[in-house]
Amino acid sequence: MKHRAFALAFAAALATVVVSQGVAAQGLRPSGAAPAGTGFARPAPGPSVTVPAANAPVSTAPRQADFIVAVVNSEPITNNEVRSRLARAEAQLAQQGGAMPPRDLLAREVLERLILERAQLQLARESGVKVDDFAVTQAEELVAKQNSMSVDELYRRLGRDGMSRERFREELRNQLLQQKLREREVESRVKVTDQDIDQFLREQEKGTDLAAMEINLGHVLVLVPENASQAVVAERQAKAQRAAEKARSGEDFANVAREFSDAPEGQRAGGLLGLRPADRYPELFVTSTLGQPVGSIVGPVRSPAGFHVLKVVERVTAGMPTTVVQNNARHILLRTGPQLSETAAAARLADYRRRVLAGQADFAALAREHSQDGSAKQGGNLGWASPGRYVPEFEQALNALKPGEISEPLASRFGVHLIQLMERREARLTPREQREMVRSTVREKKLDEAYATWAQEVRGRAYVEYRDPPQ
Give the domain ranges of the chain.
Answer: 3-189, 210-317, 323-428
Report which of 44, 13, 16, 112 is spatially closest to residue 452, judged by C-alpha positions. Answer: 44
| Predicted confidence (pLDDT) at residue 357 exceeds the cutoff of 80 | yes
The lowest-confidence range among 208-212, 235-239, 261-265, 456-460 is 208-212
Q: What is the DSSP string of 255-279?
A: HHHHHH--SHHHHHSTTB--SEEGG
Amino acid residing at 26: Q
Q: What was the pLDDT predicted at 40?
A: 23
Answer with the residue of higher pLDDT: 158 or 55. Answer: 158
Confidence of residue 277 (pLDDT cuts 50, 70, 90): confident
Report which of 131, 142, 121, 132 is spatially closest to residue 51, judged by C-alpha positions. Answer: 142
Inter-residue contact 400 to 141 (CB < 8 Å): no
| Predicted confidence (pLDDT) at residue 6 exceeds the cutoff of 80 | no
Inter-residue contact 168 to 158 (CB < 8 Å): yes
**Other C-beta atoms within 10 Å of 202: how many?**
11
Please give the model's pTM, rounded to 2 decimal places.
Answer: 0.62
Q: What is the pLDDT of residues 94-134, one digit of tens each?
A: 766 656 778 888 888 899 999 999 999 999 999 888 888 99
Confidence of residue 198 (pLDDT cuts 50, 70, 90): confident
**Other C-beta atoms within 10 Å of 278: how many?**
21
- Show Cβ contacts of residue 425 under 8 Å, excluding neighbours closer than 6 positions: 325, 326, 328, 384
Answer with the residue of higher pLDDT: 420 or 317. Answer: 420
Q: What was the pLDDT predicted at 377?
A: 95
Inter-residue contact 5 to 188 (CB < 8 Å): no
Q: What is the pLDDT of residues 283-340, one digit of tens each?
A: 888 888 887 888 889 989 998 888 999 998 887 766 666 788 999 999 999 998 888 9
* Architecture of the 323-428 domain: Roll (3.10)
From CA 266, how far away is CA 98, in angstroms rounded? 9
Answer with the residue of higher pLDDT: 209 or 40. Answer: 209
* Architecture of the 210-317 domain: Roll (3.10)
From CA 263, how far away is CA 273, in angstroms rounded? 10
Q: Which residues pair with residue 23 across a beta bridge?
A: 17, 49
**Other C-beta atoms within 10 Å of 265: how many?**
22
pLDDT, the chain, mean? 79
DSSP 377: G
Helix (H) or strand (E) holding 344: helix 342-357
Q: Which residues pair with residue 72 across a beta bridge?
A: 75, 464
Q: What is the pLDDT of residues 39-55, one digit of tens each?
A: 222 233 333 344 555 55
Domains 210-317 and 323-428 share a fold: yes
Q: What was the pLDDT predicted at 267?
A: 65
Q: What was the pLDDT predicted at 348?
A: 96
Q: What does the pLDDT average to over 188-198?
A: 88
CATH of the structural domain 3-189, one choice from 2.40.160.20, 3.40.50.1820, 1.10.4030.10, 3.40.50.10330: 1.10.4030.10
| Predicted confidence (pLDDT) at residue 27 exceeds the cutoff of 70 | no
| Predicted confidence (pLDDT) at residue 23 exceeds the cutoff of 50 | no
Highest mean pLDDT (candidates 52-66, 299-313, 351-365, 379-393): 351-365
Confidence of residue 347 (pLDDT cuts 50, 70, 90): very high
The pairing of strands 213-223 and 276-277 is antiparallel
**Interior/surface letters 157-169, b for 16+ CB within 10 angstroms, e for the rest:** bbeebebeeeebb
Q: What was the pLDDT predicted at 206?
A: 58
